[in-house]
Structure 1
Amino acid sequence: MAKQCFKKAAFVRMLISVLSVACSQTADAQTGACYGTIADNLPPATEVVALCSQYNIQRIRLFNPNPSVLQALQGNTNISVIVGVANEDIIGIASDANVARSWVQNNILKYGNVNFRYIAVGNEISPLDGGSAGIAPSVVPAMQNIYNAISASGLGGRVKVSTALSFGVLGTSYPPSAGAFIPEIQSSFINPIVQFLVKTQGPFLVNLYPYFAYASNTKDVRLDYALFTSPSTVVSDGPYQYQNLFNAMVDAANAALQKAGAADVEVVVSETGWPSAGGTATTLDNARSYNSNLIKSVGNGTPRKPGKPIETYIFDLIDENQKSPEIEKHWGVFLPNKQPKYPISFAK
């Protein structure tokens, strides 16, 4: 999505504040949650949507167009939605515009009262990943066909089209100002995506996890830096000072986009979070600390983009017991019984 000027961002925050007072709630519209469904013990979708409303979660990300979830969202325009095109559907959509039109009809237009925000064409596809390398050449053609179908339906100005990439597409991320995409995939894969986003004013969706950066290098990455709890600057990068790793990673993506000629494309963090069990430093207290501090932090922007809120989605809404390995089962903010694992407020 195109970068909003600071004045517009301030106006939006003011408007949100006014609306929140009217509703007797203070909302942080920048922070949402991912609603994964790889589990056999989740509450019905209607109850999950009610849970989101109860806890003031105004944005959710769906990894696929789950009919029961979309049906439950019908009419709840207070919740905006990212909906994903499944990786396995991309080649067919890229090769046939009619397939794209059918996908939009069945998964977007059919649910006319759902507040769709973005369509994410695929999740973490990369030419360097053996599981998705064969799909990579089809990503931009599929994005274009979905975009054309959305535009033809009259929703082109409202529903943006993108793809969710792993932070791993950056070959350099330290210091943040050195952020750059992997050279081997930039011209063939990244540049066409970025050019599409520039042209259509879509967002750069990136799955970004300080947890994995910490867990893979506990010697050099401080835990308080990863958890937003450092009392002072940890990384100095020219004029930019970083107290938390999340902002450093977001700014590395900003720097990479600037080098790719897309300084005005907005970085949206489509996944981030901290697991509560199953791995290094995976405690309830660390999960609470990361997610609570994240919610407080994202409204302030980053050192490179101060005052510009970072639209962010916490992974995961509810634990998914059928994922593997073990650590993948413990990212939820809520348990399957709808109880929060720890005290948390999505109101900033």
Structure 2
Amino acid sequence: MVVLPYTVAFLLLSFLQTVKITNSQSFIGINYGQVADNLPPPSSTAKLLQSTSIQKVRLNGSDTAIIKALAKTGIGIVIGTANGDIPGLASDPNFAKSWINTNVLPFYPASNIILITVGNGVMTSNDQNLMNRLLPAMQNVQNALNDASLGGKIKVSTVHSMGVLKQSEPPSSGSFDPSYGDLMKALLEFSRANGSPFAINPYPYFAYRSDTRPETLAFCLFQPNAGRMDGNTKIKYMNMFDAQVDAVYSALNSMGFKNVEIVVAETGWPFKGDDNDVGPSIENAKAYNGNLIAHLRSMVGTPLMPGKSVDTYLFALYDEDLKPGPGSERSFGLFKTDLTMVYDFGLSTSSQESSFLRK
């Protein structure tokens, strides 16, 4: 039996722990938005991502340069069709086939495309024509994937805002807006039949903006707080993220779809904003993202979905300087365009390793 010196054994154990944690973090992703004119080249971004434990990237569109740059990195890629493409995708199966032929087949499997999102926020757009065409568009994209023998490998979904819920407090009473009725049920039946996730955008930041009490801020930032009791389940929630995700789970369960996987397509916190913006700061953004990552790594799950972490895509990789609206809309980036961190949020592999060596 070979006995390793203590230092060598300790470093080896630390390395194995690092590898284990890094490899187990496939549930942590990031949004790579492009509403900007100052972004670094996709090749530089690919190298940046490989220096972190981020293993999934969500694009709002299907930028071929980015998809190519991520080839052979093993990073899972979510690509999306624009809302404006939905009528064409719905009415013409050949358009859906052409979209797959252009945006998927030339790059897969070297580029690890895992999910196609058809539209974003369609259900809360108040565009009835778009809403009615959403499911046929998703079906045609799914059929095009099936025809290319990729149906079981790449999933098809759409992304919802939390506005699809009629009620979210307490979490056990979560329910969808009944005005969506049969359409929401049909979307969920599509998800169940194809093993596709229900993608949702919970933002505790927006919840805090409508209730700016200090105890609400602590609840939103995963900081010490008194918690909030769900009177129906007698479960005490200690953070807003779990409460929002469980409200979605309850809504799915109430319609008989509790086994449809939930994916958090976006969540984040801005690090700066306009003078009248409430909540943005480096301190708050670092607390939210850092504590969320720690929460996901713990694998504790949510009270209604214990023992696993939902796939969660942080918002966002970079600031998007051309976005309209308040300053906070342009200040969600975790990295600057010179590839340095805005603040240390705990996902670089070097900071991960050093944290082990400090133990």
- TM-score (normalizing by structure 1): 0.89
Once the two structures are TM-superposed, the CA of residue 231 in structure 1 deviates from its matched residue by: 4.5
Partners of 1:316 and 1:235 in 2: how far apart?
A: 31
Q: Are positions 1:94 and 2:85 aligned together?
A: no
Once the two structures are TM-superposed, the CA of residue 276 in structure 1 deviates from its matched residue by: 0.6
- Whether contact under 8 Å (1:240, 1:304) holds in the other structure is no
Cα distance per residue 1:39-60 (max 9 Å; x no partner): 0011001111111111221111
Q: Are positions 1:271 and 2:271 aligned together?
A: no
- Whether contact under 8 Å (1:80, 1:117) holds in the other structure is yes
- Whether contact under 8 Å (2:46, 2:69) holds in the other structure is yes
Out of 282, 285, 288, the residue aligned to residue 287 of structure 1 is 285
Q: Give SS of 1:205's match.
A: strand
Once the two structures are TM-superposed, the CA of residue 24 in structure 1 deviates from its matched residue by: 4.6
Identity of aligned residues (%): 37
Aligned residues: 326
Partners of 1:287 and 1:244 in 2: how far apart?
A: 15
The aligned residue for residue 214 of structure 1 is: 208
Partners of 1:54 and 1:274 in 2: how far apart?
A: 22
- Considering only aligned residues, what root-mean-square deviation do their CA atoms show, in Å? 1.9
- Whether contact under 8 Å (1:213, 1:221) holds in the other structure is no
Out of 101, 104, 109, the residue aligned to residue 108 of structure 1 is 104
Out of 110, 115, 137, the residue aligned to residue 132 of structure 2 is 137
The aligned residue for residue 8 of structure 1 is: none
Once the two structures are TM-superposed, the CA of residue 186 in structure 1 deviates from its matched residue by: 2.5
Q: Are positions 1:84 and 2:84 aligned together?
A: no
Partners of 1:175 and 1:24 in 2: how far apart?
A: 38
Cα distance per residue 1:291-329 (max 9 Å; x no partner): 011111123210001102111000111011000212210
Q: Are positions 1:252 and 2:253 aligned together?
A: no
Q: Give SS of 2:207's match.
A: helix
Out of 287, 291, 295, the residue aligned to residue 297 of structure 1 is 295
Cα distance per residue 1:8-66 (max 9 Å; x no partner): xxxxxxxxxx9x83985731221110000000011001111111111221111010001
Higher mean alpha-carbon deviation, 306-315 vs 25-34, is at: 25-34
Alignment of 1:328-339 (within 5 A): 328-339=329-340
Once the two structures are TM-superposed, the CA of residue 220 in structure 1 deviates from its matched residue by: 9.0
Once the two structures are TM-superposed, the CA of residue 221 in structure 1 deviates from its matched residue by: 6.5
The aligned residue for residue 342 of structure 2 is: 341
- Whether contact under 8 Å (1:230, 1:244) holds in the other structure is no
Out of 204, 222, 243, the residue aligned to residue 228 of structure 1 is 222
Out of 49, 57, 63, the residue aligned to residue 52 of structure 1 is 49
Once the two structures are TM-superposed, the CA of residue 234 in structure 1 deviates from its matched residue by: 2.7
Partners of 1:183 and 1:236 in 2: how far apart?
A: 23
Partners of 1:118 and 1:240 in 2: how far apart?
A: 33
The aligned residue for residue 355 of structure 2 is: none
Partners of 1:273 and 1:22 in 2: how far apart?
A: 27
Partners of 2:214 and 2:337 in 1: how far apart?
A: 36
Q: Are positions 1:177 and 2:172 aligned together?
A: yes
The aligned residue for residue 195 of structure 2 is: 201
Change (3 A) 1:24 1:182: closer
The answer for unaligned runs of 5 or more in structure 1 is: 1-17
Partners of 1:43 and 1:21 in 2: how far apart?
A: 33
Partners of 1:111 and 1:300 in 2: how far apart?
A: 36
Once the two structures are TM-superposed, the CA of residue 266 in structure 1 deviates from its matched residue by: 1.0
Higher mean alpha-carbon deviation, 28-37 vs 234-243, is at: 234-243
- Whether contact under 8 Å (1:125, 1:133) holds in the other structure is no
- Whether contact under 8 Å (1:34, 1:317) holds in the other structure is yes
The one-letter code matched in structure 2 to 1:124 is G
Higher mean alpha-carbon deviation, 237-246 vs 160-169, is at: 237-246
Cα distance per residue 1:159-195 (max 9 Å; x no partner): 11110111110010000000000011132x3111111
Q: Are positions 1:319 and 2:319 aligned together?
A: yes
The one-letter code matched in structure 1 to 2:314 is I
Once the two structures are TM-superposed, the CA of residue 241 in structure 1 deviates from its matched residue by: 2.0
Q: Give SS of 2:44's match.
A: helix
Larger radius of gyration: 2
The answer for unaligned runs of 5 or more in structure 2 is: 1-12, 353-359
Q: Give SS of 2:319's match.
A: coil
